[in-house]
Structure 1
Amino acid sequence: MISSVFFLALLAHSAFGQIVSDFNCTIFTDKNVYAPTATVCSNTYSDATCALLYPPATAGDVIAPDTEIPRPVNCWSNDAGTTFNQDMKDAAIASCAKTCGYCCQTDAYSCKNVQFPRLKCDTITSAQCDSPAWRTIIAQDCPSACGFCNEGGCVDAVTNCATDMSICQNIGMQDFVNSYCQKTCDRCASSTTSSSSSGSASSATTKSSGTSCTTYDADTVTACTSWAANGFCTNTFYTDAQRKARCATTCKIC
């Protein structure tokens, strides 16, 4: 009897346009409204297809931050809202997360941010997500704000690095790619290589501060072996600092 009364109460609230089915991706002020992260992602299916699969309770309603319209019933139920169905919700998240207001539960947006971020994660804008000045910081500190949860803390600072992969091997572009194309060019700290060098690099030992060492910083460039074969470790055109920043292990630079 109690459950029946509770369900009828939910239906009554729904008639007034309140969120009653699932409070994920919502925030509470004086009422429950959708959080900015509820619709921050893109649908996997086209928006038009999602609108057909998940029609709103009231024609024309669109879930958006700070609104309280009920989620389309198909987003969470397979029996017209009588019961909650996890399979229906999982399908909605996989296909039409934005339409259903479930973006915060997709893989790209559902991770934890660091405990002490350098910026306030819940105020990050879409413009910051695309900004070269902010993208790498956001990926490390606030990955859930921009859908960077699957990136391992590393993204390109600019979004078009992959359009010309040759820049990764262009010696004259190394300062640029190290700063702006870390993901595309494998310059992330987690993807550096510390493999031992061979060939001409083995004889190019450079000492720092007049002392020798047995361990070296990891290479930050995947092409160090081929560069060394072409004289990168010994060519005086490059400074010790430049060689160390890119190929410290290969060039044996302390």
Structure 2
Amino acid sequence: MKANCQKTCRLCPAGGTATTASPGSGSCSDVATNCAANYGLCDNASYRDLMTQKCAKTCNRCSGSGGNTCVDSNKNCATWVQNQFCTNTFYTTDQRRQYCAKSCNLC
């Protein structure tokens, strides 16, 4: 999907057009210059899509880049795991990977 449907999946860079970079090529980066200052918005529901588009690297949304370590981006993962977050079909694999990749053993 990242290679063939970037526009539909909102994965295009700031210009809004698809790139020709291949998946896992290490091309994932931050487009905006204020990503570090706005890190707290990465998991805010109102800003998630925007932060994913503009601050993919800072928000740890680069898949297949090889440079990222397996981490949990949410401090509540231990509790969520106890409440079946990792196995409940209500949540998608992408949601599990985004918030609790390490705790859900998705890396």
> TM-score w.r.t. structure 2 length?
0.47
Larger RCO of the pair (alpha carbons < 8 Å, separation 6+):
2
Using the size of structure 1 for normalisation, the TM-score is 0.25
Q: Which has the larger radius of gyration?
A: 1
Q: Point out the structure with the larger helix share.
A: 1
